[in-house]
Structure 1
Amino acid sequence: MGLDVDKERQESTGVFLQKAGKTDDLSWRDSLKQILAACIAHSLVIQVGINLSFSAVLLPQLRDSGSNINIDLSQASWIASIVTAALPVGSLVIGPLMDRFGRKKMCILTAVPFLVSWTLHNFATSVWYIYIARIVAGLGAGLSTVAMVYVSEISHPKYRPVLLTFNSVFVTLGILITCILDI
């Protein structure tokens, strides 16, 4: 299993080294490939932004008198903060996982906790389902740090700083989507 990860790492970091020994120049095709790969990897963190800002939309709906799930102020506080409490756990877990299975595979698998979280939100019948959904979303948010590692390893040193700032841009995009669509 470790050999596959090493091979993946060599292939992904070798993209810019194949240019006849030049490491400071990239063709526009290689640059475009890296930009697209960075955008795809960072698209994971759109979910992080959505989950971080989702409580701003969810809580007024749950506090409404017509809601099927009624919550008090203490429960509202937990719903809003539990994502950030679970996030560090996901961040600690992803390191060994990406070393064992590879960055690319973990980028793909990181979408699973977000899917589980939204499924739990959709079928929630009590505040406990919402708590669990928010914890799973926080774990997913922590796991999504694999995107930055992946981008840092596949990107040319000249473009790496710009491509890594996409992470913040995509988190902010997720927050913006939540606020605009009032999800």
Structure 2
Amino acid sequence: QIAAAVFASLSSVSIGFITAYSSLTLPQLRNDTSIDFVDTRDSGWIASLPSISSIVGSLLGGIVMDALGPRMTLMVTAVPCLLSWSFIAFANSVALIYVGRLITGVFLGIFSPVPQVYATEIAEPSIRGMMGAFPEAAVALGSLLCYAFGSVVDWRWLAGISALVPSLPLFVSMVILPESPQWLTKKAKLNEAEKSLR
């Protein structure tokens, strides 16, 4: 159960990367000649687009989680999140960075509540409070890792790291881990719910 909560919290690590990325990379982008000139207006959009598009993701998050279950939601959203960082890493224009940041924001909104739901639903009552705290700590860890990597690599490499470090292990672990027993019970999948509790 603890391992499941830790792996589910990798999506929260991803949130930390998304929120910290722009503060580290905007100064580099303004001086990078491999893309269009990034002016003050562009900087504002690059920083704020994830927050704006996360509103859409938040509205979709409950629907997606109810339809797919917390585990499958984390697994399904890991792949587009990884691809959205690829738009940024390989961008040759500010427009592609906009697209990447816009998509990361949508998925930020979708998976923000999911790790906490998953962690608490698979946990025994005696450890539920501790498990529910993992995702919050993981956001801070993601920001810290982003700052650490950002101090030694440029904005393109940091986008690549932001894609791979949380998303790849998240996807692999969610393939292996069980679905939430509460969600399975709600969907009348009682045999699967019983197996997930073992």
Is the TM-score greater than 0.5?
yes
How far is the alpha carbon of 1:113 from its aligned partner?
Answer: 2.5
Q: Deviations over 1:92-138 (max 9, x none)?
A: 20211111122211111120231121110122121111111001111
Aligned length: 150
Q: Is the 8 A contact 2:35 2:94 kept in 1?
A: no
Kindly provide the amino acid, as one letter, of the partner of residue 53 in structure 1.
A
Q: In 2, are the aligned partners of 1:61 and 1:67 still within 8 Å (CA)?
A: no
Distance 2:38 2:85 in 1: 19
Report what 1:170 is aligned to: 138
Distance in 2 of aligned mates of 1:125 and 1:65: 10
CA shift for structure 1 position 88: 2.2
CA separation in 2, counterparts of 1:83 and 1:65? 22
Letter matched to residue 149 of structure 1: V
- CA contact 1:116–1:136 (8 Å) conserved in 2: no
Q: Counterpart of 2:76?
A: 109
CA distance in 2, matches of 1:141, 1:112: 13
**Quick one: which of 15, 18, 22 aligns to 1:55?**
22
User: Are residues 1:100 and 2:67 paired?
Assistant: yes
Q: For residues 1-183 of structure 1, what are the structure 2 equivalents within 5 Å? A: 34-64=1-31, 66-144=33-111, 145-182=113-150, 183=158
TM-score (normalised: structure 1): 0.77
Shift of 1:67: 4.6
Moved more, 144-153 or 60-69: 60-69
Name the CA shift for 1:97/1:81 in 2 (closer, same or farther; >3 Å).
same
Q: Distance in 1 between matches of 2:116 and 2:32?
A: 42
Q: Return the offset for 1:48.
A: 0.8
User: Deviation at 1:82?
Assistant: 0.9
- Deviation (angstroms), 1:158: 2.0
TM-score, length-scaled by structure 2? 0.72
Q: Is residue 82–residue 134 contact of structure 1 (8 Å, CA) maintained in 2?
A: yes
Q: Tell me the residue number matched to 1:8.
A: none
Post-superposition CA distance 1:62-93 (Å, at most 9, x none)? 11164533111011011011111111221220
RMSD value, Cα: 1.3
Q: What is the CA–CA distance in structure 2 between the aligned matches of 1:59 and 1:109, rounded to whole Å?
A: 30
Return structure 1 stretches of 4+ with deviation > 3 angstroms. Answer: none
Q: Partners in 2 of 1:41 and 1:101 — Cα distance?
A: 15
Residue 177 of structure 1 aligns with an amino acid whose one-letter code is L
SS in 1 for 2:126: coil
Q: CA separation in 2, counterparts of 1:104 and 1:119?
A: 24
Q: Is the 8 A contact 1:39 1:166 kept in 2?
A: yes
Opposite residue 5 of structure 2, the aligned amino acid is A
Query: Matches of 2:56 and 2:125 in 1, distance apart?
Result: 30
Compared with structure 1, are the counterparts of its residues 65 and 151 closer, same or farther at alpha carbon in structure 2 (3 Å cutoff)?
closer
* Unmatched 5+ stretches in structure 2: 151-157, 159-198
